């Protein structure tokens, strides 16, 4: 089948590789333009662009598709049977949605209609969902509103992180889109009940509110690592990033205000229960195990975290 592939981050790479490996004719790959990254701010191509160039595929990276008739015409001129879209990052205008013979198919990392939008993986963990999955959807003008072609699910456990769920769903999406292209599927309208939206995340979403329960804070850390990352502050305003933690209700938090360090192992009182920090990071340092962190510059028992306002990046 003659395809156009449209994607940008790591999530989309397994699908691109699978489509190529199964012999589909990929006429072009669309990806977001290279962005400055790293300390030197050198221009870095997206993971999809890197994979496409490795496979010898043509890569296009328009800055915008809005009000761009020339881009629409170039896309239509590819005469694709279908466009496969996975976390591309640009909105496709109606002219592009209608150009491929079979339309545009989206690999979306949730069980639609739950978690339409930009952060479905993180939102599912944050909300305490017990499952997530991938939906292959026929794209239309609305935000993830199109009819569903195929879906599959995976459980979310007490140790699921955004990273592990991301990797599971990326592979699942590749498998599902291959099935849809090979076998076809009858479009099913999304149900009207159960619609939720996953907002675009910011760094501020990673601020730990110690008034929350230990379970909710644990979910936030698992959901928002590595991006945007979770953090707290020392009383002097120093930002401490948190990489991993585990609810640890053996330590009683009943008489300590939320955010108080309860023991030398960095067990922290929460609004309900307590949580033990496993890895954390000072400014300018690497992420460290809690015991190594404490040997470097110990945070004393009784210190209360999160009292200061963190500076913006």
- Binding site, annotated residues for (6S)-5,6,7,8-tetrahydrofolate: 110-113
The residues facing 30 across adjacent strands are: 6, 60
| Beta carbons of 7 and 48 less than 8 angstroms apart | yes
* Binding site as annotated, residues: 110-113
Which candidate, 16, 12, 17, places its Cα nearest to that of 4?
16
Phi, psi of 289 (to 5 degrees): -65, 150
Both tokens of residue 184? 């076809």
Query: Is residue 1 exposed (0-12), middle (13-18) or buried (19+ Cβ within 10 Å)?
Result: middle
d(CA 196, CA 278): 32
Of 272, 268, 157, the closest CA to residue 215 belongs to 272
**What is the CA 294 to chain-centroid distance, rounded?**
31
Query: Phi and psi for 242 in degrees, rounded to 5?
Result: -115, 125
Burial class (CB in 10 A: 0-12, 13-18, 19+), 16: buried
* Residue 308 φ/ψ, nearest 5 degrees: -100, 165
């Amino acid at each position: 089948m003659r395809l156009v592939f449209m994607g940008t981050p790591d999530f989309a790479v397994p699908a691109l590789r699978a489509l190529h490996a199964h012999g589909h004719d990929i006429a072009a790959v669309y990806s977001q333009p290279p962005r400055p990254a790293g300390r030197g701010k050198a221009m870095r191509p997206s993971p999809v662009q890197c994979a496409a160039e490795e496979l010898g595929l043509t890569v296009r990276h328009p800055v915008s598709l809005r009000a761009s008739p020339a881009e629409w015409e170039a896309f239509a001129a590819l005469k694709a049977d279908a466009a496969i879209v996975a976390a591309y990052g640009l909105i496709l205008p109606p002219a592009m949605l209608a150009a491929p013979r079979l339309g545009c198919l989206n690999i979306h990392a949730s069980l639609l209609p739950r978690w339409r939008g930009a952060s479905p993986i993180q939102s599912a963990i944050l909300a305490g969902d017990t499952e997530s999955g991938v939906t292959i959807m026929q794209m239309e003008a609305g935000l993830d509103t199109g009819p569903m072609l195929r879906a599959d699910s995976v459980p979310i456990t007490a140790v699921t992180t955004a990273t592990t769920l991301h990797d599971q769903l990326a592979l699942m999406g590749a498998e599902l889109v291959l099935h849809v292209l090979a076998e076809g599927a009858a479009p099913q309208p999304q149900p009207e009940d159960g619609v939720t939206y996953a907002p675009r995340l910011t760094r501020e979403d990673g601020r730990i509110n110690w008034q929350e329960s230990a379970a909710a804070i644990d979910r936030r850390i698992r959901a928002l690592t590595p991006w945007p990352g979770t953090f707290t502050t020392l009383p002097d305003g120093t930002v401490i990033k948190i990489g991993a933690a585990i609810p640890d209700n053996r330590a009683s938090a009943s008489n300590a205000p939320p955010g108080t360090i309860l023991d030398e192992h960095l067990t922290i009182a929460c609004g309900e229960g307590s949580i033990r920090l496993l890895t954390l990071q000072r400014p300018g340092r690497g992420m460290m195990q809690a015991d190594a962190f404490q040997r470097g510059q110990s945070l004393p028992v009784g210190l209360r975290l999160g009292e200061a306002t963190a500076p913006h990046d």
